[in-house]
A and B are shown apart, each in its own frame.
Chain A
Amino acid sequence: MRMNDSGLDGYNFAYLDEQTKRMIRRAILKAIAIPGYQVPFGSREMPLPYGWGTGGIQITAAVLGTDDTLKVIDQGSDDTTNAVNIRRFFSRTAGVATTTKTTEASVIQTRHRIPEKKLREDQVLIYQVPIPEPLRFMEPREIETRKMHALQEYGVMHVKLYEDIARFGHIATTYNYPVRVNDRYVMAPSPIPKFDNPKMNDMPALQLFGAGREKRIYAIPPYTKVSSLDFDDHPFEVQKWDETCALCGASDSFLDEIVLNDTGDRMFVCSDSDYCEERRELGYKGTQPEEQGDAA
């Protein structure tokens, strides 16, 4: 059943054996058919620890073909440990082309961010998910949370948001902000900042979510309604910054705050490194000189 001999000797294409990939693809198909529903699957041991993306990497292995181009993001960046290692893993075991450019990728595995650049229909976005159950904080029993999903008993999600407002005066949840998919299932969008929540709505690309330790796969098909939960008098809002990116001057991207020294100097830069680089290549400039940016 080997599809291709490219990649590392002694390993099957994209690491997983073909039967496992079939099993994962079946789970993915079911997940796409029921947007937001968590499909259990037989998660395999992967050569990296739980919490490093074992769920995402299994989905990537199952959907990857020889002609795909893979991009891996960790916290928006292409050159952080997780991103570098997973990219190298697939270029060795599958021999596929890799890229850091959002526009060139056909499969994007991500941790904690959605690229700033709008995704297209021919792209697949794969999220790494640590805790797939949005109700877990309120209800520890799995048997009960499944029943709550089945009967759409989602009142407790608002109890959590109520608690935020009561304590902080506003909805203080900033990442893994619960969403409702297709007006049916409440879903944990993985720990992306709520800044990225609106991007999930009506996205042309297919979105797949994999939780390796919790053995769940879920999905949002292209062009599906995804709405963030909120109150009538405390509507959903995304983060805003007073600053712009110090390197490229962008005012519309998610910014990371970087401490430069121990005298309190800091700079704000785009968390999406590809977006920032592309803007700089086009000649956009921020407030801080380039050499400081390289040091950061």
Chain B
Amino acid sequence: MADLNVSVVSAAQEVWSGRAKQIVARTVEGEIGILPGHEPMLAILGVGEVRVTTEDGATVRANAEDGFLSVEHDTVTIVARNAELIS
């Protein structure tokens, strides 16, 4: 199965980018999980963290408030005014 191409960007800079197997994010309507092959989507993010499971199985967690999420052709962009990684 193909991978997802993920980038997390904040207003000032690109916070993280890389390839991932799965993404779990919280939109205003509830949690959503995204796997490769997901249909194109634009969603407004709610309060909560975004979890990215990378290719090698590690988990990257990021705080992304006040933003949105777009999915198309296995490219996922998480855009938030203030986004930062939680280490």
* Chain A partners chain B: no
Query: Chain B interface (Cβ within 8 Å of chain A)?
Result: none
